[in-house]
Structure 1
Amino acid sequence: MIGRIAGLLLEKHPPLVLVDVNGIGYEIDVPMSTFCRLPGIGEQVTLHTHFWVREDAHLLFGFMTEPERVLFRQLTKISGIGARTGLAILSGLSVNDLHQIVVSQDSTRLTRIPGIGKKTAERLLLELRDKISPAITLPETGTAMASSTDKDILNALSALGYNDREANWAVGQLSEGVTVSDGIMQSLRLLSKAK
C-alpha cells in the first residue's frame, strides 16, 4: 500500500499529476479540489494517496488532505460508486459541503455532479448517513476545532462499530482533559449502559 507520496511535481494535466520521487515518476489522479491547491511545477508536493488495484490496472489517487482521502475511501465503499465517481464528487464538493449535504439529506445538490443521478444520490445519502465521520470534517473559519484527543476517541469508537451519533454523544459526556485511552474506556462504559 502506498499511503503518501512526497516529491517534485513534474507535470499537471487535470486530473493527472506526475510526481518524481528519487527518479521514479508516479502518475497520480487527483480531484480538482486538490489540483487547484497544488504548488507550481518544479516545486515539492506531498499527497496522501490511495492505491487502487483493478484486474486491468493499478491506480494511484492523491489528496491534499487526509479528510479528503478518508471521504474518498468511504465513498468508494458504496455500491455503484467507483473511483472515478468518487473523484468527481470530491471535485465538485468540499468535505464540509458533503457533510452538510448528508446531514440535511439534500439529494438535489448531489445530482449536479456529473455521473450522479437521483437514485445514486439517494443511495449515497442513505449509505453515508451513519458512516460519515465528524472527525473527517474540516473546521469552518471561526469555529472551534475539536481537540485531537476527541478526534482520536471518535475514530476509535467508529472503528469499533459505533455510529457517529453514539460516538459524539459519548465524547460529549467526557470531562475536559481526559486522555485518549481513558476517554475510550469511559465512552465504552457509557455506551454499554445506554444500550
Structure 2
Amino acid sequence: MPLSNNMNHPLPRPPLAQLQGRANWVALLLLAIGLHVFEAALPSLGPWFKPGLANLVTLLALLWLGPSAALMLSIGRVIVGSFFIGTLFTPTFVISMAGGLAAALFMIAAWRFIPGITLIGVSLLGALAHMVAQFVTVETLFIQQSALYFALPPLLLLSTMTGWLNGALAGYIAARLEYPDENR
C-alpha cells in the first residue's frame, strides 16, 4: 500500500524527469564538495587563492540545471566542504562563502544578461568576482587594512588564468556529455 497522508489519497510520485534532475544536482554537489576538499589540501599560490575547480562544477550546474541549482550548489559545497575540512563557521568559511556566492551570482548574471557570452567568459567573471569578494570580506571583517589591496592585482591575474582554464574545461566537458540544455 502506498504511503499517504490520508488513507484515501496516496501521495503523488514526482515525475521521473524531476527525480533525474535532483539526482544530477546531488551528483554535481558531491563532485563540487570533493573538489573543495581536494583544493584545501593543495599548496596555495597566495592568500585565499586556489584554482577554483569547484566553481567549474557550479558553471556546469548553471549550464545544465539552471541558475537556482547553481546557486544552491555553490552554497551547499562551501557548507559541506567546510565541515569536512574543519573550517565550518570560521573566518576561512566566511571568506570561502563570500567568494563562492559572488562567483555564482556573477556567473548567473553574465549567463542571463550578456548575449552570446561563452563559458570561458562566464568563468572569467566568476573567478574575478570570487577573488574580489574574498578581499573585500577579509578587509571589511578581519584585517581592516587597505594596504591589503596591494596583493590583489597579481591574484587577479592568477584568477584570470584559472578562470579561463575552468571555462575551457567546462566547455570541453559540456561538449562531450549529452545533457539537455532546456534550463538555459
TM-score (norm 1): 0.26
Q: Which has the larger strand fraction? A: 1
Which one scores higher on RCO, CA 8 angstroms, separation ≥ 6? 2
TM-score (norm 2): 0.27
